[in-house]
Amino acid sequence: MYCIICGENIISHTAIHTPLIKNPNAISPNSAMRAASKFLQNVSFSVLRHSRHHSAGGGFRGLSCAASLLSRSSAASPSPLFHPRCQVYFSTCPGSASTFVEQLVCESEEPFDHEEELCRSDPSWGKFHFDSSFESTELEGFDWPAVDAKKLEDSPGQWHPSRLNWLCKELHGKKHDSLIRILDAQRGWLTQEYATYVVHRLLQIRAVHTAFMVYKWMMMQSWYQFDFNLATRVADCLGKECQFRKCREVYDDILTQGRVPDESTFHILTALYLSSSCEYLEEPFDIYRCMIQLGGYKPHLSLHNSLFEALVETKGHFCAENLERAEFVYKNMQAFGLQIHKDIFGGLIWLHSYQDSIDKDRIASLREEMCSRGIEEGTDVLESVLRACSKNGDVDEAEKTWTKLLSFSNSSPSPQACLYRMLTYANIGEHMKALEILRGMQEDICSIRTIAYRKIIEILSKAQKQELAESVMKDFINRGLGPLMPSFIHMMAMYLVSGSHEKLESTFFQSLKQCRTNQTVFSLYLQSLVEKGDIKKAGKIFDEMAENPLIGVNARCCNNILRGYLSHGEHKKAEKVIEMMRLKKFNTDSF
């Protein structure tokens, strides 16, 4: 309530609270008079409380005004009608000829205090700086749809404004069951126009969840007709409150009606998915794609950037699907004539470099596009090019890129770049050059040197370069780097292929001293014993694996020992192995 004496809001002192009833009109005269008396007491208390700031006669003028209003109401009708939570506004401001209904309908909507922070960065990569280079996903640029709320002053009967105001206050904060009971009790007079006003008013006071429940209740009524502007407003307000599941529900309702959601709904819902903890990007990308292909909208630059950032830095970003999505975002930015940041190019090349099949021509075209736009290639782009060269064995391009990295005066090439250069030579069979690069790497980068040793041992083992592999493995162990288990497995696999069973056995016992027990190591040793015919020792190893829960047996181990028993006539032991395989549901190989 606006007090004409002190100019302060005293509405909290003048609200009349009565129990919820189905028909507010059915109030006895005595009840009405008691309510009027209480109302006058509240006004008197508020006026007297503030009277010391004003003239002595001001308080009496306020009481006189309140009493006059009540007396006029009594004179107008022998049975005055009071509605629960009805509020009366007093105002002496200039130009305040507007009625209570006009104040209620034309009340301005409060702006939201904050926006959802959307841009996320993963510090483990340390390559791109999306937070500093990309603008935030703005929401101010949208023209929010105007909800066609009914002008209540045009309604017959002066009790509608106060009744709707009471209903809004009564619904606010109620749980679902209580809210449905209240709304069901108003079915006799509540229409779509009035329900639309209730939803709109609840959105104005940020009772978004309550507004959503009222909106869903409206959809269940026989008189309901789809209101696109109202649905859009509800969806957008839910999105601003980060309730993306409810926002998605209203979004689906709009699509079900055969309508294309508003641009703001597309934007907010996509941003919500990107800012949530959702690890998969199918949902936000599908909404983004529908925004362009179905709605024909041109998303803001910030939305392109935020989606691209998520595609690069979320889990599973190496997959081909995310690369295709990133390319789709890039092509849309080109089609819309938007400014493309250098990190977009860097991120695309980075994604291409992690694919199993390297598209050399596409990487070259992206680099040419960067050059035509005057964007210099940074160390992140050059390292991505080196990574791609290490997979397709392009030594010439790798050396050109390495020379560019050396030209940067601020720092020397990173250990990752050295690793990719080494792998480029190793994958084309120039193992001595790869070893030279390995031994020239910095001594203080243990993690990178460990990866480099493991990679070169893997490549040498597959190429059956036993002497070089043994030399590198010895150096690997002497330097105290680790873990050693993957390299031991590659060495044993190399010996198994070449038939060097003595060396394999020696490597097996060496691995037991320096690493934890591993099923793969035992399986390789078991297969070696079976192949060289030492079935007795093979049986002991198999029994040890079966009894030790830290090791266990798999189908491959069972088939190897079964083959050994059958080839040496150990049929009873073979039957036990078959029974074990049946219990474990392992398939037997054909011998």
Tens digit of each residue's pLDDT (9 = 90 or more) over 287-323: 999 999 999 999 999 999 999 998 888 765 567 888 9
Give how far Cα 19 sits from Cα of 1, 16, 166, 448, Å: 21, 10, 11, 73
Q: Tell whether the torsion through CA atoms of 538, 543, 544 and 550 is positive or negative.
A: positive
pLDDT at 315: 60
Specify the length of the chain in residues: 591
For residue 73, what pLDDT is reported?
Answer: 37
Q: In percent, how much of the chain has pLDDT > 70?
A: 70
d(C-alpha 346, C-alpha 242), whole Å: 31
Share of the chain above pLDDT 90, in %: 46
Task: Please check the confidence at residue 585 and state whether its pLDDT lies above 50.
Answer: yes
pLDDT of 77 higher than 90: no
Q: Which of 68-77, 184-193, 368-377 shows the lowest per-residue confidence on average (mean pLDDT)?
A: 68-77
Instruction: Give the count of beta carbons closer than 10 Å to the beta carbon of residue 544.
Output: 13
Instruction: For residue 79, count other CB atoms closer than 10 A to its CB.
Output: 10
Q: pLDDT digit string (tens) for 357-394?
A: 899 999 999 999 999 999 999 899 999 999 999 998 89
Contact criterion met (CB below 8 Å) for 367 and 377: yes
**What distances in angstroms separate CA 18 from CA 11, 127, 202, 408, one per listed residue?**
16, 63, 21, 78
HSE, side-chain direction, 13 A CA sphere, residue 490: 22
Supply the DSSP symbol for 410.
S
Statement: the pTM of the whole predicted model exceeds 0.85: no
* 560-583 per-position pLDDT tens digit: 999 999 999 999 999 999 999 999
| Contact by Cβ (8 Å): 21, 186 | no
Question: How many alpha carbons fall within 13 Å on the CB side of residue 107?
Answer: 16
Query: What is the average pLDDT score of the chain?
Result: 76
pLDDT at residue 19 greater than cutoff 70 = no
Confidence of residue 439 (pLDDT cuts 50, 70, 90): confident
**Residue 202 CB partners (closer than 8 Å, separation 6+):** 168, 171, 172, 208, 210, 211, 214
Which residues, in sequence order, are CB contacts of 284 under 8 Å at separation 6+? Answer: 269, 270, 273, 274, 278, 307, 310
Burial (CB < 10 A; 0-12, 13-18, 19+), residue 507, is: buried
3-class DSSP assignment, residue 9: strand
The C-alpha torsion from 343 through 346 and 347 to 351, rounded to 10°, is 180
Q: What is the pLDDT of residue 482?
A: 79
Residue pair 128/380 in contact (Cβ under 8 Å)? The answer is: yes
- CB-side exposure of 244: number of CA atoms within 13 Å? 18
Judged against a pLDDT cut of 50, whether residue 456 lies above it is answered with: yes
- Identify the pLDDT of residue 450: 85
CB 403 within 8 A of CB 369: no
Beta-carbon contacts of 91 under 8 Å, excluding residues fewer than 6 positions away, are 2, 4
Q: What is the distance between the alpha carbons of residues 462 and 543, in angstroms, rounded to a whole number?
A: 30
Q: How many C-beta atoms surround the C-beta of residue 497 within 10 A?
A: 11
By three-state DSSP, how is residue 2 classified?
strand
What six digits make up the tokens of 490?
A: 């590659």
HSE (side-chain half, CA atoms, 13 Å) at 62: 30
Q: Please give the Cα distance from 202 to 173 (Å, whole number).
A: 10
CA distances for 270 relative to 114, 137, 247, 589, angstroms: 18, 10, 11, 51
Which of 458, 463, 415 is closest to 440 using CA atoms? Answer: 415
- CA distances in angstroms from 447 to 1, 63, 127, listed in the order given: 70, 83, 18
Least confident of 145-149, 168-172, 297-301: 145-149
Residue position matching structure tokens 């998520």: 310
C-alpha separations of 386 from 182, 363, 470 in Å: 68, 11, 28
DSSP state of 3: -
| Residue 328: predicted pLDDT | 95
Angle formed by the axes of helices 555-567 and 571-584, to 10°? 160
Q: Dihedrals φ, ψ of 194, to 5°?
A: -70, -40
* pLDDT of 45 above 80: no
Q: What are the φ and ψ backbone dihedral angles of 160, each rounded to 5 degrees?
A: -60, -45
pLDDT for 277: 65
For CA atoms 480, 482, 485, 489, give the dihedral sign: negative
Q: Helices 379-392 and 342-353: crossing angle, nearest 10°?
A: 20
